Amino acid sequence: MSDKEKARDFLELVIKGKIDEAYKKYIDMNGKHHNVYFAKGFETLNNAMKENQDKFPNKKFVIKNIISEGDLVAVHSHLDFQNGEKGMVTVHIFRFENGKIIELWDCGQAIPQDCPNEDGAF
């Protein structure tokens, strides 16, 4: 399985609420994440993902683009919390080492209800 496929599967498992399975298969727990809203360590991010799943169990996630170069994979997607809003544009960047995610960056931008850009978010 390629790193692109692993990144896709990781995110799809997380969205389905199979967070522990996703971590067991793909995360090197000695690695690091760069989400500025949570303390360091993949264990902290794992707990935050579980809290998000409890809050938004029916969210939808649509991958728009996946780009891979060397040990990096970038996933551009639409995350919809199914709460009446338009959701978010998200980008996850994974760095792989020995077949596992050793480093993760994630960023999101809320899609405004009255988006002035006629081309939209996607």
Q: What is the pLDDT of residues 32-59, one digit of tens each?
A: 999 999 999 999 999 999 999 999 999 9
Check pLDDT > 90 for residue 26: yes
Span 21-40, average pLDDT: 96
Span 62-78, average pLDDT: 98
Strand 27-33 relative to strand 60-69, pairing: unpaired
Kindly list the domain boundaries of the chain, sorted by start residue. Answer: 3-110
3-110, CATH topology level? Nuclear Transport Factor 2; Chain: A, (3.10.450)
Q: What is the pLDDT of residues 80-120, one digit of tens each?
A: 998 888 999 999 999 999 999 999 999 999 999 999 999 99
Please give the model's pTM, rounded to 2 decimal places.
0.93
pLDDT score for 84: 85
Span 2-28, average pLDDT: 97
Check pLDDT > 90 for residue 78: yes
| 3 state SS for the chain | CCHHHHHHHHHHHHHCCCHHHHHHHHEEEEEEECCCCCCCCHHHHHHHHHHHHHHCCCCEEEEEEEEEECCEEEEEEEEECCCCCCCEEEEEEEEEECCEEEEEEEEEEECCCCCCCCCCCC
